[in-house]
């Protein structure tokens, strides 16, 4: 076999090797192709993402207006008159019939609503407290006094002697949408100047049994004991609510926080500045929700309503002619589907106003006008119960 003529098998193998090398080289030299960048159509909705920088800007703007609140109530001790009697001391010891003085402490949050030293918080933070102190963001601690409270909305207004304080800027809940970002400020577990973030989970939460007037914003921003009274703000740094309560099986945050909307807070604060309290309407009724068994027993075939189960004989509703086992269907033309709806309507009514009640009575529909009054008190000064 001569050398001047290559073997055909060898030639084929060389060609295959060269082809493979060429493919490999081509792969190495080929520039990666990036997928084309999608171009939004003119009708597409732009998506604006919140960034940590935006959160930090909001914190810088709002935090100087947030305060920590510490309140104290002293419960006097007592000593039984026979505590020092030898027989009692011998049989029961010296401390069985006595108790030392003790202090009850409350901690929460507030925020500055007036440069003249006015601060708003929740009523349950300061209710019944004798000494109230607020600690500002700059570290100063100032005594505060209670200007006014509204238990129906769980709001309270405090005053201090400070001036030139940085007040918050109010926002509106109207443009808020479920899913919008919000930040919650407060002092959870007495950790002052804390901030958490989340979204608006729902609007208009009612019927939770937390307050007489309920129209809460719901958020998953972390809210814990000590956050009560702190501001809930949007990404413009404007207050849209005041953190008030949580729904939790553990006592800590489980992602269901509730805030009183800013519109309600501002309306209540205006009244508290003028009068120190808010008088709300009262009819002197006791009602309960209907269930199928109750409806069947009284012959009511409707789907919704509240059953009158009692009332004060001298109360406005009794004087207007309401009777036991009437079914309340509506107030001022608005349907009453549960106790929460009725409580909200009553909270919006002032003494001296008249309410038109739509009723069902033994198969008949009728309307009754009831002039509401301020809630009376009993001989010991306690507010009467009922709606």
Domains, the chain, with CATH or none:
169-275 (2.40.10.10), 281-374 (2.30.42.10)
* Distance between CA atoms of residues 226 and 183, nearest Å: 16
Q: Supply the DSSP symbol for 365.
A: E
* Distance between CA atoms of residues 157 and 265, nearest Å: 10
For residue 146, the cross-strand partners are 158
Asked if the model's pLDDT at residue 20 lies above 90, the reply is no
* Distance between CA atoms of residues 85 and 338, nearest Å: 58
What is residue 54's predicted lDDT score, i.e. its pLDDT? 86
Higher pLDDT, residue 218 or 1? 218
* Distance between CA atoms of residues 312 and 299, nearest Å: 25
pLDDT (average), residues 142-167: 93
Q: Are 287 and 387 in contact (CB under 8 A)?
A: yes
Asked if the model's pLDDT at residue 90 lies above 80, the reply is no
Residue linked to tokens 């992602």: 255
Q: What is the mean pLDDT of the chain?
A: 83
pLDDT (average), residues 217-231: 94
Tokens coding 260: 């009183």
DSSP assignments along 57-92, one per residue: HHHHHHGGGEEEEEEEEEE--EE-TTTT-HHHHHHH
* Distance between CA atoms of residues 378 and 372, nearest Å: 18
Instruction: With 0.75 as the threshold, say if the pTM is over it.
Output: no
Q: What percent of the chain has pLDDT over 70?
A: 81
Asked if the model's pLDDT at residue 24 lies above 90, the reply is no
Asked if the model's pLDDT at residue 171 lies above 70, the reply is yes
Q: Supply the DSSP symbol for 255.
A: S
* Distance between CA atoms of residues 356 and 126, nearest Å: 36
What is residue 336's predicted lDDT score, i.e. its pLDDT? 92
Confidence of residue 33 (pLDDT cuts 50, 70, 90): very low
* Distance between CA atoms of residues 223 and 85, nearest Å: 52
pLDDT (average), residues 184-195: 94
pLDDT digit string (tens) for 97-124? 667 777 788 899 999 999 999 999 999 9
| Catalytic positions, written as ranges | 124, 154, 228
* Distance between CA atoms of residues 385 and 322, nearest Å: 17
Confidence of residue 125 (pLDDT cuts 50, 70, 90): very high
Asked if the model's pLDDT at residue 93 lies above 90, the reply is no
Q: Supply the DSSP symbol for 377.
A: B
Whole-Å CA distances, 178 to 61, 204, 260, 341: 24, 11, 16, 22
What is residue 366's predicted lDDT score, i.e. its pLDDT? 94
pLDDT digit string (tens) for 270-283? 999 998 988 888 99
pLDDT (average), residues 258-271: 94
What is residue 249's predicted lDDT score, i.e. its pLDDT? 75
């Amino acid at each position: 076999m001569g050398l001047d003529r290559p073997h055909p098998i060898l030639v084929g193998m060389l060609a295959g090797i060269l082809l493979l090398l060429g493919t490999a080289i081509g792969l190495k030299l080929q520039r990666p192709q990036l997928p084309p960048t999608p171009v939004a159509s003119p009708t597409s909705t732009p998506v604006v993402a919140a960034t940590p920088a935006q959160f930090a800007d909001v914190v810088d703007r709002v935090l100087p207006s947030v305060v920590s609140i510490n309140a104290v109530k002293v419960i006097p001790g007592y000593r039984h008159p026979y505590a020092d009697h030898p027989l009692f001391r011998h049989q029961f010891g010296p401390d069985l019939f006595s108790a030392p003085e003790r202090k009850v402490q409350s901690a929460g949050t507030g925020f500055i609503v007036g440069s003249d030293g006015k601060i708003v918080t929740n009523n349950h933070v300061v209710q019944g407290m004798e000494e109230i102190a607020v600690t500002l963001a700059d570290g100063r601690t100032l005594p505060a006094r209670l200007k006014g409270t509204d238990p129906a909305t769980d709001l309270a207004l405090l005053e201090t002697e400070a001036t030139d304080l940085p007040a918050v800027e109010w926002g509106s809940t109207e443009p808020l949408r479920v899913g919008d970002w919000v930040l919650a400020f407060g002092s959870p577990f007495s950790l002052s100047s804390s901030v958490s973030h989340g979204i608006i989970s729902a609007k208009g939460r009612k019927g939770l049994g937390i307050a007489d007037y309920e129209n809460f914003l719901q958020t998953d921003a972390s809210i814990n004991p000590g956050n009560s009274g702190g501001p809930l703000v949007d990404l413009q740094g404007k207050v849209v609510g005041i953190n008030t309560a949580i729904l939790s099986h553990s006592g800590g945050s489980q992602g269901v926080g509730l805030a009183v909307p800013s519109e309600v807070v501002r309306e209540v604060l205006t009244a508290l500045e003028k009068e120190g309290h808010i008088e709300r309407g009262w009819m002197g009724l006791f009602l309960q929700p209907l269930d199928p068994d109750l409806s069947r027993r009284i012959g009511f075939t409707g789907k919704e309503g509240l059953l009158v189960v009692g009332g004060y004989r001298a109360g406005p509703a009794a004087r207007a002619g309401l009777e036991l086992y009437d079914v309340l269907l509506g107030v001022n033309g608005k349907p009453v589907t549960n106790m929460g709806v009725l409580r909200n309507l009553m909270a919006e009514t002032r003494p001296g106003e008249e309410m038109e009640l739509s009723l069902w009575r033994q198969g008949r529909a009728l309307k009754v006008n009831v002039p509401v009054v301020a809630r009376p008190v009993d001989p010991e000064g306690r507010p009467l119960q009922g709606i």
